[in-house]
Amino acid sequence: MILRFLIYLFIMFFLINCSGNNKKDSIHSLDSQLEKPESQYTKAILLFDKTEYEKANEIFKNIERIYPLSNEAIQSQIMQGFIDYLTLDYDSGIIKFSKIINKYPSLKNLDYVYYMKALCYYEQISHEGLDAKFNDLALENLNQVIKRFPKSNYAKDSYQKIVLVKSNIAAKHMMIGRFYQKEEKFTASLNRYKIVVESFDETKFVPEALYRISEIYLSIGMIEDSKKTAAILGYNYPDSEWYKYIYESLNKQNKDTIFSKSLDKIFNK
């Protein structure tokens, strides 16, 4: 009986002691959670700068949860989205940035949020033959930055990225066009090349597209259309290698000396 009683007392003492320690830990944890949002945000940024993203994210989440109406809570949401971007969790980043855009339409640095959302799409473009969806989404969201915030610092960079995205899209059209041309599906091929010429005229692919349009016309006997396209190519890109190619092709097949002279005039001007 005495041994049983002593064991009982030991267990009770142990439980009381653990309870006391847990209570102290809980109080310390609660104090940490209730710390002013400014102080918590500073700590989180310091952790972020050390690339301790997981720990920083926990503090950002806590600020958002405990002080939802504070400026730090809004900035914490932005930082959570930025951490998603840095860790390549683009889908989560897009969701967070979209939520901020919808919830805070008058936010002072909303241009940055739009820009980061666009980057989440832009960074997922990896090859002209793939990710057509991300080409379109990146283009759409980058245009939003320019349209809504034309004087923003992010507008200029967005424009530069739009040129790159359009080059990526043009490259995809050229790749498909070449495939159709090789298969002698000339109508489908012409449609692709014309899209490049008409919609992506600032890209490097326009001279080749004009050359291939002229080449197709020549191969199917539409000599006059081939000449006209070659003339456009020569007028706009007289130093292009593609103009040299079509010039040589037309001279081989064309016996019209007047046209040859006109080509010479354009080529040598």
Residue 258 has pLDDT above 60, yes or no: no
pLDDT in tens, 211-227: 999 999 999 999 999 99
* DSSP structural state of residue 205: T
pLDDT at 132: 72
pLDDT at 32: 53
Give the span between the Cα atoms of 106 and 108, in whole angstroms.
Answer: 6
Q: What is the mean pLDDT of residues 132-146?
A: 91
Whole-model pTM: value is 0.70
pLDDT at 236: 93
Residue 87 has pLDDT above 90, yes or no: yes
Amino acid sitting at position 30: L
CA nearest 135: which of 56, 200, 232? 200
Give the span between the Cα atoms of 116 and 81, in whole angstroms.
Answer: 8
Torsion angle of alpha carbons 190, 195, 200, 206, nearest 10°? 10
pLDDT at 7: 38
**Which ranges in 34-152 belong to alpha helices (H)?**
37-49, 53-66, 71-86, 90-103, 110-122, 132-148
CB atoms closer than 10 angstroms to residue 240: 18
